[in-house]
Amino acid sequence: MTPEKLQAFLAAFDALPLGAFTGTAEGCKYMVSREDLAGGKSQKLVARELGGTDYISLNLYRLTSGARLKPCEMPAEKVVRFVLALQVME
């Protein structure tokens, strides 16, 4: 991932609320949960498509050497595209 794309991903991720919320991405509605662990050094996001089968899961580690994205059994590009597209519903 390019440094520019990583920065865009991190900004989009950090803008998401903690806890559970509903959002939309790429025309689908999702139930999303975001949590901080280990004092914010580890973060987790899980999203399940409402009325569908899509599933997104990732861990993000904030290390002194930089952020490390670890998707759970899916391509990194899928989770990056999801987070960049995700819009929180109010």
> pLDDT (tens digit, 9 = 90+) per residue, 33-84?
999 999 889 999 999 999 999 999 999 999 999 999 999 999 999 999 999 9
**pLDDT (mean) for 20-29:** 97
CA distances from 1 to 5, 18, 19, 76, 80 (A): 6, 25, 27, 9, 10
Q: What pLDDT is recorded for position 1?
A: 77
Q: How many domains does the chain have?
A: 1
pLDDT of residue 60: 97
Hey, is 83 helix, strand or coil?
Answer: helix
